[in-house]
Structures are given as structure tokens and as C-alpha cells.
Structure 1
Amino acid sequence: MEDAYNDSDALLDHAAIEDGRPQRDGQKVGEHFTPDPHANLPVYTTIHRIRKLVIASIDDPYTLDQLKEPHMNVHTVRRLVDQLYDPDNISIVYCLLVNRMQFLHEQSYQGHLQTVSITRATLCELVATRLLRRFDEDNSGLQGLLLLANILVAGFEPFQNAPAEVLRQNPNAPQWPVQKRGGYERKLPALEVAIISESKVLLSSSVCQKVVDAVYRGQIVYTPLSFVDILPDHYKHRPISLYDPRKAPLLNQYRLIVPRLRGMIEVCQFAVLLALYVLAMVRRQGLTITPYEIIFGAYASGWILEEFAAIIEHGWNVHTQNLWSFLDITFFVIYGAYLTMRMYAFASGRNYLAEDALNILAIAAPVLLPRLAFNLMPDNMLFISLRAMMRDFTVLTLLAIWCFAGFFLSMKWLLDGSSENHTKDTPDSATISKWMLWIWFGLDGTGIERSVDFHLVLGPSLMIAFAFLGNTLFLTILVSMLTNTFSKIVADATAEIQFRRAVQTFEGVKSDAIFAYRPPFNILALLILLPLKLILSPRWFHSVNVAMARTLNAPILLLIGIYERHQLWRAPSDRPLGPSKRSRLFPWTFSGFYPHGDIQAVFETDPPETSLDDN
């Protein structure tokens, strides 16, 4: 099995030479682990050089549009681009984005420089975008695409090649060496820094989207840099390279981490989860644990394990940029409460808790059904806006609960102070909370009518003040905030959509071996392979992992191999790599049943050069 792996890597390198494509930097045929080809770049020095230049260039606040004006573009932006551009230093974009993060951090606590720091952060992003475009202009073809991929997805470290005295002054740096990766520890790619700093101008640029699209389709392949792997298998490290399916093995489990293919698999997995959930709820039998519930529990546990691994793969900041992350977290909480209560009821014999556990599981339906819609339509502006508005709504609601808790305490203490007048109709704490909630949403005014039960004068005064502040002032603020958020997103819809695509693409490339196993087999793989890792050598553990992954995913890998050989990449070596305009596996089309089919069909076949030269 391992020999097959070595042969496949050798074929990839041989194919790179035959097709005129650049060979992988530092990669020798048959070598298992490639040293970092960019380890000699002066990242630490470049970061501080950029910071010095940006601070010297900007002393006043400017907007992005003002920075793009001809005067500022010539005297500030273009001058920085000319000073920083170095064809041999591909870490320059990463260093600019690191400075952007630092300026954004400084604006949160340096009030006197808040607007200036935001301008400096914007300038760093704008210069990084222009530098990326210059790299693209100076390097064309497949070699240029590979260079751009190294700029965006190769890993760098802020303290890389820092002077010895700097490291002595910072004993805690570098940080988080969680798992050994042969020199790739503590490294972050520029694409990840752009995501967590929300550099939407850079991510929506045509050059960046070209690389994102190549990674999304699997034309650019590499081993991603992750924070923690639940099931680590770092025996082989695949450097950034161009993929040719004609020279790769038919059962290539690396294709399971291609974002486009992985996205299709994840949608199918979630559809299965939703179908099992519906079956478990429709066929439930009260206290009896049905086979449908057992199957759903096993599959849902495996699905949650995969989602948990995705969270820790690149950290919480990156995962929360995903469109449906808040729905996943909500389902985690609901399923965790259901499973805990169900298991406790089964172990203790308290049957009433089993019914409550199923009732808790029933409230997962409003989470799972919209989640499927989010998966199927990730570029829909309604869903993108809904995610941002949910964040604002949650923040404002928590602030309102915090502020209006004083009204509840006042009413509660007024009621306790008049204990001699207590009757059966005296409201308790739950009733007071219900009245306040109804007033908050403008549903019922019972609380205002019964406010005299607290105090003849102070009770109505408190209720009326709460109704005015809550139902009128806070809800007006909430509507204004949500309207403003929606307007901002719609005004820059293209950048928002491309930003979400970049997030999905970056998160789709996984390094954890656990992602090679479909739920619920990932639980079995974790229980079997994790103990084996303590016993076997890295080479043998890698061989066992590859054998199991290929065996369990053989039908999927076979379909992927056939699909990519016949549809995605062209076979002749004199034609460029890329998606074909028409499927070679299914050569027929249905344009004859479509009245405007000829408009599309005319572009399916490239015209001869002689016909283009006639004019």
C-alpha cells in the first residue's frame, strides 16, 4: 500500500516534468516529507518593515474610496507597492495581513488613534491586493497559478527568522506547538489571516478568487496547516502542487478533502442525518428505544464528531465565519441535552425523563431544516444577511435582558414588601417574567393592568416605563440595526458572496485523518486507530490508515476517479488543464429541448484559428 503511495507521488512529479508544469519546490521523487521551501524568508523583519512604512505613510483617517482616489493612489498606495514588491519574497502578502490584524487590534483600545488605525489596516489590505495582482501579472500560466497558491496557502510564522535577541526577550514565543509536523508547526497561511481579519477586498479580488477556485476544484492540492488533529497522520506532507488525475491512482483518498467534492459529500451526509431524524421522531414509541432512534443516535454522534473536528481544525474564529455555524452549535446543544437525559433515564429507570428527552430532541427540527437550505443555497443573500442579523439580534437581546433585569427585581421586591396582601392571584416570578415578555413583544397588556398588585403608584410607573423603553425604544433600535446590517451586506453583495466562498474553500481542505471516514464509521476509526497510533510506527500507522480509508470509501473514490478523468481535465497534453466545457463521460446534451440552446452550444467548441484570422 505504501509503495502505491510512493508511486503515485512519483507519477505526479514525472507528470509535472512531462507537461511542462513546475515541479514541486524541494520535492524529490519518492520522498515522504518535504522540508518547508520558504523557511529562509525573513518574515519577522518584513512585518516590522511594513509597519514602519505604513505608519509613516498614514497620519490622518481615510476611507477605502479615498485611498483609491488618483492622488492617494499615486503618492501612497503605488509607492508602497513599489517599495515592498520583491519577486523572491512571497511572504509579503502574509506580512501585510498580519499588520492589518495588528492595526485592527490597536483600534479597539487606542481611542485617540482609532480612525487612523482603521485607515492603516485598510491600507495594508489594499496594498496586499495590489501586490497579489502584480505577482499575477509578472507570472502567467500554470507556473503563475502555482506561485499565487504558494503566496496564499503556504504557511508562515510571525517569528520566522527573528533575531536571537528578540527570541530571548520573548520566551513564550513562538506559541502553541501542539502537534509535531516536521517543521510546519505554528504556521498560518495568508488566506487564513485574511479570513479572520475579514479582508473582503483582498478575498473578492479576481486574483485571489482564481486561486480559491483552483483549490475548490482540486487543481491545486496541498496538505493544510491545522491547529489540532483528533486523528493525526503526518507521515506524509504534500507540498503545494498541481494535480493531474491522469497520473494519479484511481482510488486516491486525498480527493476526499477537495472542497467541491467534500461539499457534495457533506450535503449528502446531512440529508441522511435529516432523514434519520425524521424517521426517529415519526416512529418513536415513548419510553421504548426504537431501532430508528439507535441508528439516528449513532449517525448523529458521528456527524457531531466530524463537525467538532472541523471546529478545532482551524480554530473557532475561522469556523464561525461559516454561514451555518450558529445552526450547528444549536444542534450540538440540543442533541447533547437529549442524549444526556436519555441515557440517564435509561440508567436510573426514571421513565418521565425519557419522554422529556424526546421532547428536547423534537425542538431540533427548526434548526435542521433551515440548515439544509443553507447548504443548498450558500450564495443566497437572504441567508448571508440572516447570519449577520442573527448576530446583531443576539447581542442586542442579551444587552436588553441585562438592562431590564432591574425592572424585574424592582417588581419582585415591591411584591415581597407587600406580603400581607398576598392572595392566590398574587403573581409569582414566572408570571412577572411572562408579563414582561408579552409587553416586550407587544402581545398582551395584562402586566400593565395588574401592575397595581405591586404598588398602587410605583407598580404602574415601572410597567409603563418598561413598556416605553422596551417595546418602543429598544425594538426601534433593533429594527434600525438590522436594517443597517442588511443594507451594508446588499450594497457589497459580490464581496460578501466571494468572502463566504473563500471561507468554505479554506475550511473544505482538511488535514485530520478523521475526515476520511463517513459517519458513523469515524467513531469506529477513532476507537481503533487512536490506540494503534501509540503502538505502530508512523509508517505503519499511515499504511493502515490509507488501507482503511480506501476500503471504506472505495465506491466514492471510484466515482470520483472516473468523473475527474473523463469530465474535469482534458486528456491531450497540449490542452490546458481545467474544467471541460462539455462532459466527456456524457457527451450528449439536451439543448434541443431548450429554445435558446444554440446560444450556449456555440461556445462549446473552439473555432479554428483560420476563421478568426480572416478579419
Structure 2
Amino acid sequence: MDHELFNATRLLAPSPEYLASVKVFPLIPAIKKEIIVYSFSVASLIGLTDSQLTASDVSFSIVRPIVFKFARPKNLAIVYACLVVRSYFLGESENDLAYAGVNLSRANLCELIATKLLSHFAADHMQLVAALTTSWNPLTGATSSFIDEVQQVLKCDEEDLNYPQSALEMAISTKSMRFLASPVTQRVVNDIYTGRIVFSVAATRSVLADNYKHRSIQFYDWRDAPFLDHYRLRVPKYGAILEFLNFAALLLTFILCLSNQNPNGTNIWEVIFVLFAVAFALEEYTASTEHGWGSDRSLCMWNVFDTAFLAIFCVYLVLRIRGIVNGDTALSEMSFDILACGACILLPRLAFFAVSNTVIVLALRAMIAEFVFFIGIASICFSGLLFTLWTLGKHKWTLKSISWLMVQIWFGNTYLSFGEASSFHPVLGPILMTCFAALSNTLLLTILISILSNTVARIDAFLQSRLFLTLSLQYLFQFTISTIEGVKTDALFSYQPPFNILAFLILKPTSWIVSPRALHSLNVLLIKLTSFPILLVIGIYERYLAHGRALRESGRGAAHSIFNSLPRQIKNIPIIEALVGSTSADIYEAIFEVEADNDNGLFTDSEDENVPALRSFVNESNPASPTSASARKRLTSLAHSMSAGRDPSPLRPISANLELSSSGEVPSPQSKSPLARLFVRTPSDHPMSAAVNSIEANVKRVEALVDEMKGLPSQRMREEMKELQDRQARIENLLLTLTRGMRQSDLDRSH
């Protein structure tokens, strides 16, 4: 895309004035009403699956009328409004179990309609991005009385009602996986991830908000951007790389701290580790404040791992401070022992960092969830046995020792169950321990292994089963969550650990006393000072090393020129061909890059004249067909030859006794045809007048044969198709009449 095209497309972004004038609230009750009314027209809407909702009958009678109705105003907030209505029906399906199937089907219908409506904005990429990324307030366009009633219901201030969200954020909160996995949505998500689309969102829940400059939606052009562009630090693609490097630095300092531990005092490695860990904790706190700890953030398994590591670090830090203050060496050693347990989280976290959203990790997460759920249920069930054994043998056994004994028996050490059974009770002890050993080792453990084996088998065959679709939807869902979380508005996200601690200590108190403009200037200055090497690398990469840039293209061209200058014997060596690539693929790409003529002389009139074409009645009746055009050309030349007095004998005549084949083709005749003489005027006393009369008689016979062709199967098929179209139109009118009647009856019942 050239520079002028970038400037042209940038002007197409919706202005803030236009976005502020868009009415959002009137769409929400209108969509809710349409979904409820149209859902009554299909009696089997209860419990419909996604494939049934996309069937032709439901799509024709329900989806298409709603989509066409709401796509006509071209309101950018219509997709967001559909997802808001989906959240309402999802809540109703959980509250009203009697109609849970109906409300769940309506919620899925809202997601389907939102996907269909989004495709109407796909022609203009800027409008598509605006429809998905613009933050909308659901009360925009509502009356003041309605806003007051909402405020009374929520019992909050007016400022608490201003909580805008975009369509992408609403799709994540309502778990609209199919909407997010659609190609139109993923096109925008990929552009956001790579930084091609640049936009900013006002921070409302940030630890340190910098809302002085609001950037409208635009396509990023490195020609207009400054070389040290601090906004590029918020690109999710670069943010993922920087997060990996920061986590690697945290792991390195963690290993150095444990390798050089000093219980009696501190050293430089422990101080550096504590600094990086506190910076990591501040980053996690900022992310949780920005996005919350709702279902969206808890869906990512690695957030649980990060939280577990921070809990271990907090325990270590408290014990370590108390050990240093009190001079307790044992307490300090215990703090290091607890910190060493964090390696069980940090090392796997770094190993799976690059594949956190792949289908294998998602399947592994499913297995872990099943295992934890099964163990939790078994622990609750056996807690009664634990209390029974403690009651019987509390004179000898403690609750902790009994629990450890049951764990050993659970994992296969059945000898302990028979050896220690009589110590609880001489009669009841062996009976209880035998039942526990049988249940844990024979029944429950076998069930657990079967569940995990079944999960592994499904993962192994997910390419041929429905699990592939489910994992693909989950992968795209997780990818969208990570991308939206990457576009963070908090100012602290632009700082890399441990400089975010310095920025927090400087900017947070400053924000209380200076103006927003001065805070923004100070923030930009600190970002460029602390992230100067990173911004320099990003600027060089985007200008010279990225796809389509000068240095990369020149290097590739030089490599290809060197390869093309080599002898054929060297180019055909398998190792060189595998490293450079086969030239056949380059040939195929070059064929389609070079502009060529449409026909290249492939079809000429001379060849058409030499080949005896078989003309059908369809071609003769269609004046735009090539066969009829060539026929008219030959007949015109024949007429000119006859008017000039030349003998048209070289033309092969058509038989006077015309016989049509079953395919409607005219066979080659054996006698002369005077058809060309129809194009010249002949006097009545001319010798050819008799021939003209015979021609007229033959034409009438041809017309009679054409009338007879109406009884052929093709003609009857056309008539049947026309009858079916008329019947379909009548059914459509009947469906519209029925839906209007049901809508009117529903309105009457509501009044």
C-alpha cells in the first residue's frame, strides 16, 4: 500500500463528533423485541444447535429479515447492541431454568445476527475497525428519565454509569467464540496484533491514566510516524516479545538469588531479584486493575500460575524480612525453601510461554481441569471417612497423620491399609480400610485413568472430530483476549520492569498536582529515556527489516541475483535448492504478476469460420453469444457477396428438409440453401421468387417444429422452475403475514 493510499484511507475514519452522535440505546430494546417476536414464529426454537440456527429455513424466515432491517441504517453500534442483547438472554437462561433452552437459542441467534451484520461493514475496512473497536456507552441516546431510573436501580452515581465497552470486549465477556472466530473479526484482530491499526481508548480503571491525547482509528504508516514512537510499545506483537524477555530476566535473577543465598544477610543478586519481582507484581496488579479479575482474565491459565508465584514471593518476602530484623537464621532459611518452590511454576511458565494459546496447551488445560475436578470430588467424598478414622483412633492418630496415610493408600500403597487397620478399631478398622483401598485403587483410580485416557484419545483424533472445531474456537478466543489485553491504556504498561516502579513513584504523586498536559509530557519523556534502546530497535525493524522494506527487499534481490548467476549444475544441487527454494514457484508467481492480454489471439474469427460450429436455439436466441455473433458476421458477408453478383456456392447449404436433433442442433444439410437470398431484394418476376416462396414455407415448418419443442423436457423443466419460484414467493408472503400477526398479538398481550 503506497503513501497516498494510506493518507486517503486515514481520512475515512469516523470523527469523534460523529461517534458521539450515534444513538446506541434505542438499538438495544429494538433488537430484543425483534428477537423475541421472530423466535415465536419457529416452534422448534427450543434447544436449537448452532448448525440448526444456520439452516436455510431458519435463516430465511428469521435471520435475514432482522439482518436486512438493522443493516439499512448503517449504524456502527449495531454489532455492539446485538452482543448486549446476547448478554441479557444469557443471564435469563441462567435465572429462568424453565425457559433456559429458549433464551440460550435467542442468545446464539444474537451472536449469529451480529456476525451477519458485521459482514455489511466489511467493504470499508475503516468502518469495520470502527464497528469493532469503538467504545460505546449503552445509555447513549436514552432519555434522562430512563437514565435516572437506571441510576436508582443500581444505586450509584452518574459517573459510575459511564463504563463504555467495544464490540470486541463485549464479545469476550459474552463468550461469543463463533463471532470472534469469524474471518471478518479475525482480520481486524490480526491487524491490531501486528500494529497495523492504531487507536487509543480512554482509561477509566487505570492505576496511572494518561488521557490527554486521544488518537482516532488510523492505519499505521511508518513514513509519518516519528522514529522513536513510544506508542509502538503498546503493540501486542512487540508487547509479547518484551514480556517474554522480562520473564526470562525474572527467572535468571531468581536462579542467581537461590544460588547465592545468604541467610545471615543480603547480597546484590537477592536485591536485584526482589526488585524484578516487585516490578512483576506491580505489572500484574496494573493488569488486574485494568481488565479485572472476571471470567475473561481467569480464562488464561497462565494468570493463575503468575498469581501462585506472587503468593509464594509474598510469603518469602514476609519471612525474609522478619528473619533479618529478628536475626532468626532458621526463619530466613525457611523463606528460601519456600521461594525454591516457585521454580515449579517459573520454569514451566517460561517453557510454555511461546505456546500459551496453542491447541495442545488448551487440551492440556482441559486434562488438568478434569483431574482437579475429579480429585476435589474424591476428597470431599473421603472427608467423611477421615473424620470417622480420627474419631475411632484419636488416642493414637492425629488428623494430619491420618490424612497422610490416606494419601499413601490412594496412590497405591495398599499394604499400609491392612497393616494399620487394626490400630483404629479391631473390628471396624479393617472393614473401613479395606473398603477405602478397594474404592481408591480399584474403582476411582481406574475411573480417573479412563477419563484421562479418553481425553488423550480425543486429542489424538481431534483432526477428525468435533474437538478440532472446539479447540480452534478456544484458540482464537484466547488469542483475541491476549490481543485486547495487549492494547492497554494504563501509562505504566509502556515501561519495562523494573522501570515501571520508578515511573509509578514519580508519576503517581505528580498526577495529583500537575495538569494533564504536563503529566503527558513528563510521561512521554520518561518512556523515551527508559525505553530508548527498545524504541530504536523497533524503528529500525519497521523501516528496514519488516516485510516490504528497503533493506530486506534489496538483500533478497541480491541473494536471488547471485543464485540466478550460478551454473545450472550448482543450482540443481539438492542442498542449495532446499535452502534457496525451487525456481518453479517463482515462475508461477511471476506469471500472475505480469499483465497479459485477455485473449492473446486464442480465439479468432478465422478459426471460427474453419470449424463447423453447431448452433443451438439457445445460442441463436441470445444475441450476445459468440456463436450467434459469428453467424451474423458470416450471413452479412454472404449478403454482400450476393448483392455484388458473386456466386455463394462455396458456402455449404442447409437442407430444405430440416430435422432437429434431440439436443436442438441443426445437422449439416446436403442440398443448396437459398437462406442468404433473404437479405437481398428480388423482384416478383425474378426466377428466385419461387425459391423465396419455398423459403417462406420452410420457415413456417421451422416455426411449427419450434412449437413442438415446447413439449421437450427442458421446456417443461423451465415451467416447473417458474412454478416453484412463484410458490416460494407465496410462502414468503405467508411467513411475513404470520410474523406480523404474531408480532401484533404479542404487542397486544404486552399492553
The alignment's TM-score, normalised by the length of structure 1, stands at 0.85
Residue aligning to 2:409: 439
Per mean C-alpha deviation after superposition, the further-off stretch among 66-75 and 354-363 is 66-75
The reply to whether residue 155 of structure 1 matches residue 135 of structure 2 is yes
Residue aligning to 2:25: 44
Answer 1 or 2: higher relative contact order, Cα 8 Å, separation at least 6.
Answer: 1
Q: For residues 186 and 527 of structure 1, do their structure 2 counterparts lie closer, same or farther at Cα, with a shift above 3 Å needed?
A: same
Per mean C-alpha deviation after superposition, the further-off stretch among 97-106 and 335-344 is 97-106
Residue aligning to 1:382: 360
TM superposition shift of 1:160: 2.3
Residue aligning to 2:231: 254
Runs of 4 or more, structure 1, over 6 Å off, are 14-17, 173-180, 603-606
Per mean C-alpha deviation after superposition, the further-off stretch among 585-594 and 445-454 is 585-594
User: Which residue identity is paired with 2:509?
Assistant: P
Per mean C-alpha deviation after superposition, the further-off stretch among 376-385 and 502-511 is 376-385
Residue aligning to 2:90: 104
The reply to whether residue 126 of structure 1 matches residue 112 of structure 2 is yes
The reply to whether residue 82 of structure 1 matches residue 77 of structure 2 is no
CA-to-aligned-CA distance 1:173-229 (integer Å, 9 cap, x gap) = 78988999xxx9410111111112221111111100100011011111111355521
SS at match of 2:512: helix
Out of 464, 475, 483, the residue aligned to residue 505 of structure 1 is: 483
Q: How does 1:66-465 map to 2 (within 5 A)?
A: 66-136=52-122, 139=123, 144-172=124-152, 185-317=162-294, 318-416=296-394, 419=395, 426-465=396-435
Residue aligning to 1:532: 510
Per mean C-alpha deviation after superposition, the further-off stretch among 247-256 and 528-537 is 528-537
TM superposition shift of 1:348: 2.0
User: Which residue identity is paired with 2:532?
Assistant: A
TM superposition shift of 1:340: 1.5
The answer to whether the 8 A contact 1:273-1:296 is kept is yes
TM superposition shift of 1:564: 1.2
Distance 1:588 1:179 in 2: 61
The answer to whether the 8 A contact 1:267-1:375 is kept is yes
The answer to whether the 8 A contact 1:566-1:585 is kept is no
CA-to-aligned-CA distance 1:402-450 (integer Å, 9 cap, x gap) = 333222111111224xx4xxxxxx3321110012112333344413432
Distance 1:531 1:230 in 2: 12
TM superposition shift of 1:247: 0.3
CA-to-aligned-CA distance 1:311-362 (integer Å, 9 cap, x gap) = 2212223222334222111111111111121112112222111111111111
The reply to whether residue 493 of structure 1 matches residue 488 of structure 2 is no
User: Which residue identity is paired with 2:58?
Assistant: M
Distance 1:463 1:119 in 2: 50
User: Which residue identity is paired with 1:113?
Assistant: Y
User: Which residue identity is paired with 2:78?
Assistant: I
User: Which residue identity is paired with 1:254?
Assistant: Y
User: Which residue identity is paired with 1:146?
Assistant: M
Q: For residues 547 and 293 of structure 1, do their structure 2 counterparts lie closer, same or farther at Cα, with a shift above 3 Å needed?
A: same
SS at match of 2:61: helix
TM superposition shift of 1:63: 0.5
Distance 1:502 1:378 in 2: 13
Distance 1:558 1:233 in 2: 23
The answer to whether the 8 A contact 2:28-2:85 is kept is yes
Q: For residues 205 and 409 of structure 1, do their structure 2 counterparts lie closer, same or farther at Cα, with a shift above 3 Å needed?
A: same
Out of 14, 25, 31, the residue aligned to residue 25 of structure 1 is: 14
Counting matched residue pairs gives 569
User: Which residue identity is paired with 1:153?
Assistant: T
Percent of matched pairs sharing the same residue: 34
CA-to-aligned-CA distance 1:560-599 (integer Å, 9 cap, x gap) = 112112244757xxxxxxxx99656776669956257136
The answer to whether the 8 A contact 2:253-2:272 is kept is yes
Q: For residues 312 and 54 of structure 1, do their structure 2 counterparts lie closer, same or farther at Cα, with a shift above 3 Å needed?
A: same
The answer to whether the 8 A contact 2:363-2:471 is kept is no
The answer to whether the 8 A contact 2:151-2:158 is kept is no
CA-to-aligned-CA distance 1:482-507 (integer Å, 9 cap, x gap) = 54696665443332222222111111
User: Which residue identity is paired with 1:188?
Assistant: Q
User: Which residue identity is paired with 1:434?
Assistant: W
Distance 1:208 1:581 in 2: 33
Q: For residues 329 and 211 of structure 1, do their structure 2 counterparts lie closer, same or farther at Cα, with a shift above 3 Å needed?
A: same
Distance 1:584 1:102 in 2: 56
Residue aligning to 1:610: 595
Out of 522, 529, 532, the residue aligned to residue 554 of structure 1 is: 532
Distance 2:559 2:467 in 1: 38
* Unpaired runs of at least 5, structure 1: 1-13, 27-34, 420-425, 572-579
TM superposition shift of 1:600: 6.0
Distance 1:531 1:606 in 2: 64
User: Which residue identity is paired with 2:105?
Assistant: T
Q: For residues 257 and 175 of structure 1, do their structure 2 counterparts lie closer, same or farther at Cα, with a shift above 3 Å needed?
A: farther
SS at match of 1:492: helix
Q: For residues 326 and 392 of structure 1, do their structure 2 counterparts lie closer, same or farther at Cα, with a shift above 3 Å needed?
A: farther
The answer to whether the 8 A contact 1:276-1:295 is kept is yes
Distance 1:254 1:450 in 2: 67
Q: For residues 589 and 340 of structure 1, do their structure 2 counterparts lie closer, same or farther at Cα, with a shift above 3 Å needed?
A: farther
The alignment's TM-score, normalised by the length of structure 2, stands at 0.70
TM superposition shift of 1:271: 1.2
The answer to whether the 8 A contact 1:245-1:569 is kept is no
User: Which residue identity is paired with 2:376?
Assistant: L
TM superposition shift of 1:390: 2.9
Distance 1:603 1:251 in 2: 40
Q: For residues 41 and 396 of structure 1, do their structure 2 counterparts lie closer, same or farther at Cα, with a shift above 3 Å needed?
A: farther
Distance 2:400 2:305 in 1: 28
Per mean C-alpha deviation after superposition, the further-off stretch among 428-437 and 377-386 is 377-386
Distance 1:176 1:284 in 2: 52
Distance 1:253 1:394 in 2: 43
Per mean C-alpha deviation after superposition, the further-off stretch among 440-449 and 220-229 is 440-449
Distance 1:553 1:596 in 2: 37
The answer to whether the 8 A contact 2:203-2:209 is kept is no
Distance 1:321 1:225 in 2: 25
Out of 45, 56, 63, the residue aligned to residue 49 of structure 2 is: 63
User: Which residue identity is paired with 1:102?
Assistant: Y
Out of 564, 574, 578, the residue aligned to residue 594 of structure 1 is: 578
SS at match of 1:107: helix
Q: For residues 278 and 542 of structure 1, do their structure 2 counterparts lie closer, same or farther at Cα, with a shift above 3 Å needed?
A: same
TM superposition shift of 1:536: 1.2
Residue aligning to 1:53: 34
Q: For residues 457 and 55 of structure 1, do their structure 2 counterparts lie closer, same or farther at Cα, with a shift above 3 Å needed?
A: farther
TM superposition shift of 1:50: 1.5
User: Which residue identity is paired with 2:60?
Assistant: V
